[in-house]
A and B are shown apart, each in its own frame.
Chain A
Amino acid sequence: MRDHITEIVIFTALFLLVSGMGFVAARWRAPQDMLHLDEWGLGGRSFGAWITWFLIGGDLYTAYTFVAVPALIFGAGAAGFFAVPYTVIIYPMVFLVLIRLWSVSHRHGFVTPADFVRTRFGSPTLALLVAITGIVATMPYIALQLVGIEAVLKAMGVTGEGWLARHAPIIVAFAILAAYTYQSGLRAPALIAFVKDTLIYVVILVAVLYLPYKLGGWGHIFDAADAKFAASQAPNDGILLNANNQLQYVTLALGSALALFLYPHSVTGVLASRNRTVIKRNMSALPAYSLLLGLIALLGYMAIASGVQPLPGSRPGTVDNNTVVPLLFDQQFPAWFAGVAFAAIGIGALVPAAIMSIAAANLFTRNIYKEYLRKDATPAQEAHVSKITSLVVKVGAVAFIIFLDPQFSIDLQLIGGVIILQTGPAVALGLYTRWLHRGGLIAGWVAGMGLGMWMLYQIPNAAGRKHFGGSAFPLSEFGFDTKRTIYVGLVAVFVNLLVAVVTTLILRAAKTPDGVDGTVADDYFADEGDPRLEKARVTPEAVGSST
């Protein structure tokens, strides 16, 4: 056991550097008036191609990615590689769908997906459901970022045995994050993302060039993994998929892609860009991160080939697979480089955590506070409430991690994915058609959410839990004579849509009033410098609200 002083010093220095940047960010691209939700929560809606690339990249490829995906590959093999097809599928979809959301939001001054739903369907209730879903799904995602930091701290030997010693470093790190997010809003993660991604790219390029050389080549790495899975008892591991988990693999990839751009933090990143061209160009440039992600995932196999044994989990008898990548760096690289790698992961957690807490705070402010608590809130009051809420959200995320077993980090995120998918019919289809009735969408949401939760409840996992053990639902539960599994989220959203359509037909037949659509077809193509924009922005309620 070597001591970790060098690693800790480098980690701390880089952490403090980005914290400083986070505070200074308030003055970066100085806003005229920081006390406006457009400024604090969307960085002035002014980000160009480069900043957007770093911001969305830093937003979507999180510490969860760098720690949990290789951990999954380490534990289960090919099934964990779903992250690659998933991030291939997402960009063409965003290219078509989110760009419409950008346009309609630009013209109406929407800050959240729920803002759009409210105006499109004239239904504060539906908007409330979308907002609550977004907040609930985002919380465990923020908590996951903490798991990333925690894995690094564990590998450096910083965390002690007692309750306080285990959690104190995380609490300190998050307190600093909370402080500069409070002050600088979205500008903080946007600025820090430059440092984060530079570090990540350097670390990963070095790792994927140097480690295979040291470990005897890629062929040997894959063979070592193959040998490990051949020896293990688990039925669904291996470096290839088997007959039973292929359906799960593709439905998980597709479902996760659909879910990812419904998450409020993705929407925040997209809405902060300056114009449509910035988004479209980024859809071609962002896959650079996917390539990186694929290579990061394979660090899991390198950990197998180099004989890494994961550190014990929080409960006796369990292991924490999330520690395999930090341990791999710790064992294979000089201390100073391991320190840089750990800082990359740690900072990689801060950027998305900041954006997510901003997105959740915006949802609360716009769709709960302003809608139900204080209808005449000024933009300054909105910004203020959002800042406070972002603090509350972070405290909630810390509580998540302290009181739940972080071993299930990836499952938590998969549950979040199932939940957020249920907003798809209202948000994503709503961008294309107004055909679905608001009552139908609410009924669909209830059905999809209920079914999704029931299915997740039925799923045990190998670690001995009986419920919420993953997102792979055995089709035999539906009466099919097969061992195949399917991703819960996709089934749930399918039922959601079905119920929405049937209910819509019934409500139409009964001539139930459908809300007023506050948007016009042209809104979905508006771009920077739109003539109708200023009017809309000055009095958002006059144009942006239908009730």
Chain B
Amino acid sequence: MAEPAEPAPAAEAGPARRTDHSPWNWLLLIPIVLPLVTPLYNRDAPRLWGFPAFYWIQLSFIVVGVVTTTVVYQMTKRR
């Protein structure tokens, strides 16, 4: 009886179960949904440096994507 029973894996025994749920994750919906709404950008005017709106608005979605993923990463990383 020296040996105790097989210890439960740390996962199930640990008091705080790990999770990656966070309200901040909802922010990631923005860069997923925005590019799918064509009425937002499917036009020529206003032009920016000669780029029709169709092109510069979609290129600016890349920046939106970078900002949201960065914010979510900073807000959800474990300390």
Contact = CB atoms under 8 A, between A and B. Distances in A.
B71 to A, nearest CB: 9
Contact of B52 (A240, A253, A291): A240
B12 A88 contact: no
Contacts of B64: 88
A72 to B, nearest CB: 15
The interface size bin for chain B is 35 or more
B4 interface: no
A85 B17 contact: no
B38 A250 contact: yes
Contacts of A236: none
Given A96-B28, A241-B38, A254-B36, A88 B50 contact: no
B59 A221 contact: no
Interface in B1-30: 9-12, 14, 17-20, 25, 28-29
A239 interface: yes
Contacts of B54: 78, 81, 239-241
Contacts of A85: 35-36, 58, 61
A85 B50 CA distance: 20
B42 A246 contact: yes
B66 to A, nearest CB: 5
A11 to B, nearest CB: 30
Given A218-B50, A239-B54, A88 B9 contact: no
A194 interface: no
Interface stretch (A263-271, A342-350, A519-527): A519-527
Contacts, number: 127
B58 A294 contact: yes
A85 B61 CA distance: 8
A31 interface: no
B51 A222 contact: yes
Contacts of A522: 9-12, 14, 17-18
Contacts of A89: 31-32, 35-36
Nearest to B48: A218
A508 interface: no
Interface residues of A, number: 47
Binding site secondary structure of chain A: helix
Contacts of A91: 31, 65, 69
A94 to B, nearest CB: 9
Contacts of A532: 9-11
A92 interface: yes
A249 interface: yes
B38 A521 contact: no
B52 to A, nearest CB: 6
A49 interface: no
B79 interface: no
Interface of A: 78, 81, 84-85, 87-89, 91-93, 95-96, 99-100, 212, 217-222, 239-241, 246, 249-250, 253-254, 277, 280-281, 283-284, 287, 290-291, 294, 298, 520-525, 531-532
Given A84-B35, A88-B31, 4 more contacts: A88-B35, A92-B32, A222-B52, A294-B58
26 contacts: A81-B55, A84-B58, A84-B61, A85-B35, A85-B61, A88-B34, A88-B62, A88-B64, A89-B35, A91-B69, A92-B29, A92-B65, A95-B72, A96-B25, A218-B49, A219-B50, A241-B54, A250-B36, A250-B37, A280-B73, A287-B65, A287-B69, A290-B62, A294-B59, A298-B55, A521-B17
